[in-house]
Amino acid sequence: MTDDDRLAALFSQAAAETPPPPRFDHDRVVATSRRITARRRSAVLGGAMALLVVTGVGVAVGLPRPGGDAVSSAAAPAAAPEAAAEAGAAADAVRAAPVPLGPGTTECAQRQDPQLRAVLEEVLPEVAGAVEAAVTTDCRPGGERGVSLEVSDGGTAGLLTVEYLPPGEPAGPTSGPSAVAATASGGTVVVGSRGEGPGTPAPFADRLDATAADLAPRL
Amino acid sequence: MDESAEAAFEAYFRARRDAVRRTAYLLCGDWHRADDHAQAAFVALHRHWRRIRDTAALDAWMRRTLVRSVVDESRRPWRRERFTDVVEAGAVASATDGVATRHVLVDGLRSVPPRQRAVLVLRYLEGLDVAGTAAALGCSEGTVKSQTSHGLAALRAVLGDTLDDLRPAG
């Protein structure tokens, strides 16, 4: 028997311990999967609705007032720059004074928080549609928020994580490149990235500081 | 997912749940957390089932997802594992029978850094070779070899003469 064989036997013996009954079954897995998918869709729908509201403000500003001069379709192109400017101003106003997301309100922290992800996609649109990385489901204080995504930055693939820690909870050291910023709600945001393996480049490594800075007023 | 896809997922879940739980247990050393990681991996699999075209690669996908879940969890601000070369007296049981051997190895693995622990579990429990382990972890074969050597050294440093069988390999 080789050393590898002996080690394999030892590991198999260790894993042969009679396990306790599983704490999850097929129905629970499927229900959790569907719940996460529904939350994700709600977040996307919410973002789309917010965009429609902002766009609607801009369009409303560009429309003729009752009793005023009618704007024919032929005149629309002339009005378009003004409407676009108004819409842009409205969007800038929304962007300039965002309402901080703040601590989570669920009983347990959401490790794939749809609201945090929606904010992240605002400041780092390249991660829209990225696959969620696997996270655990054990219960942590609900004030925390997290997002972990399997991302690709050009040809550089890896894991991007964003952690929001509520006021009073300090951020610990991280492995790999990361950026930390104090948020508008008094909490802390930690943006980290790492490549596929040791020594490999981390995606968005040169944008972590800017991402944390952009997230800070929104969280 | 349509009914056939749901049925295929359920069949895979029922066939692989116990194996995935055992791997997760050796990766993290705690059944409670092992179930969390295993469940998270299956939830991720269910969510991405339609995108995984190569069903022959399901096990590899699950291994990679599971290892990433455990390793990443150990790095989170709220659960950052600490490792030490100094083990408290009595922290590791002696191996006098099969049951004790299991506990000794699991206790010892807890003292090995997560990435090295993952390499050891994939190689010696899952039976992957160096190339397969490298593919599962997304790293080079050289990294797997060095992590194996460092991991076994760390394990031996903790266990001392308790398990004389442990030898660096690869």
What phi and psi, each to the nearest 5 degrees, are found at residue B27?
-70, -35
Examine residue A8 and state whether it is found in any structural domain, yes or no. no
Examine residue A12 and state whether it is found in any structural domain, yes or no. no
User: Which chain B residue is nearest to residue A195, measuring alpha carbons?
Assistant: B138
| Domain shared by A63 and A135, yes or no | no
For B68-73, what is the mean pLDDT? 79
Q: Does A15 touch chain B (CB under 8 A)?
A: yes
Give B-chain residues touching A133 at CB under 8 angstroms: 44, 65, 68-69, 72
Whether A119 and A127 have beta carbons less than 8 Å apart is answered as no
Whether A102 and A113 have beta carbons less than 8 Å apart is answered as no
Examine residue A36 and state whether it is found in any structural domain, yes or no. yes
Residue-level pLDDT at A208: 94
Residue B1 CA: distances (Å) to CA of A1, A30, A37:
47, 11, 12
Residue-level pLDDT at B90: 39
Question: Is B40 within 8 Å of A19 when comparing Cβ atoms?
Answer: no
| Domain shared by A81 and A176, yes or no | no
For B39-58, what is the mean pLDDT? 82
Query: Could you say which architecture CATH assigns to the domain B86-170?
Result: Orthogonal Bundle (1.10)
Q: Does A185 touch chain B (CB under 8 A)?
A: no
| Domain shared by A51 and A146, yes or no | no
Examine residue A59 and state whether it is found in any structural domain, yes or no. yes
Amino acid occupying residue B21: R
Q: Where are the domains of chain B?
A: 1-81, 86-170
- What is the side-by-side strand order in the sheet with A178-182? A131-132, A145-153, A156-165, A188-195, A178-182
| Domain shared by A79 and A160, yes or no | no
Give B-chain residues touching A30 at CB under 8 angstroms: 6, 9, 46
Examine residue A22 and state whether it is found in any structural domain, yes or no. no
Residue-level pLDDT at B69: 83
CA A144, B71, B20: angle at the middle one, nearest 5? 105
> Cα(A115)–Cα(A101) distance, rounded to whole angstroms?
8
In this structure, what DSSP letter does residue A202 have? P
- Lowest average pLDDT, out of A42-46, B46-50, B105-109, B146-150, goes to A42-46
What phi and psi, each to the nearest 5 degrees, are found at residue A153?
-110, 90
Residue with tokens 């944390």: A212
| 3-class secondary-structure state, position A20 | coil
| Length of chain A measured in residues | 219
Q: Does A155 touch chain B (CB under 8 A)?
A: no
- Lowest average pLDDT, out of B59-68, B121-130, B161-170, goes to B161-170
| Domain shared by A70 and A165, yes or no | no
Examine residue A102 and state whether it is found in any structural domain, yes or no. no
Question: Last residue of a domain, which of A50, A66, A96?
Answer: A96
Residue-level pLDDT at A213: 92
Whether B56 shows a pLDDT value over 60: the answer reads yes
The alpha helices in A25-178, defined as continuous H runs, are 26-62, 76-96, 114-123
| Domain shared by A200 and A129, yes or no | yes
Whether A151 and A125 have beta carbons less than 8 Å apart is answered as no
Closest CA to B102 of B36, B35, B22, B167: B22
Q: Which range, A170-174, B151-155, B160-164, has the best average confidence (pLDDT)?
A: B151-155
Give B-chain residues touching A24 at CB under 8 angstroms: 35, 38-39, 42
For B85-108, what is the mean pLDDT? 56
Q: Does A161 touch chain B (CB under 8 A)?
A: yes
User: Which candidate from A14, A136, A165 shows the least CB-CB separation from B102?
Assistant: A14
Residue-level pLDDT at A188: 92
Give A-chain residues touching B143 at CB under 8 angstroms: 197-199
Give the up-direction half-sphere exposure of residue A9: CA atoms within 13 A in the CB hemisphere: 10
| Domain shared by A144 and A202, yes or no | yes
Question: Last residue of a domain, which of A36, A64, A96?
Answer: A96
Give A-chain residues touching B17 at CB under 8 angstroms: 22
Q: What is the pLDDT of residues A201-219, one digit of tens each?
A: 889 999 999 999 999 999 9
Whether B21 and A22 have beta carbons less than 8 Å apart is answered as yes
Closest CA to B22 of B166, B113, B127: B127
Q: What is the total count of domains within chain A?
A: 2
What phi-psi label fits residue A176: left (phi over 0), alpha (psi between -120 and 50 degrees) or beta? Answer: left
Examine residue A183 and state whether it is found in any structural domain, yes or no. yes
**Token pair for residue A193?**
């990235």
Q: How many other CB atoms are there within 10 angstroms of residue A108's CB atom?
A: 13
Residue-level pLDDT at B163: 57
The boundaries of the domain holding residue A56 are 28-96
Mean pLDDT by 10 residues, chain A (219 residues): 76 79 91 82 65 57 43 38 40 52 81 87 86 73 85 87 88 78 92 81 91 92
Cβ contacts below 8 Å, chain A against chain B, sum to 160
CA B70, A101, A111: angle at the middle one, nearest 5? 15
Whether B83 shows a pLDDT value over 70: the answer reads no
Whether the CA torsion B86, B90, B93, B94 is positive or negative: it is positive
Residue-level pLDDT at A1: 63
What phi and psi, each to the nearest 5 degrees, are found at residue A60?
-60, -40
Question: Is B26 within 8 Å of A6 when comparing Cβ atoms?
Answer: no
Closest CA to B139 of B122, B126, B156: B122
Residue-level pLDDT at B29: 84
Residue-level pLDDT at A26: 94
> Cα(A200)–Cα(A195) distance, rounded to whole angstroms?
5
| Domain shared by A58 and A85, yes or no | yes
Q: How large a percentage of chain B has pLDDT more than 90?
A: 25
List, as one string, the DSSP characters of A7-18: HHHHHHHHHTS-
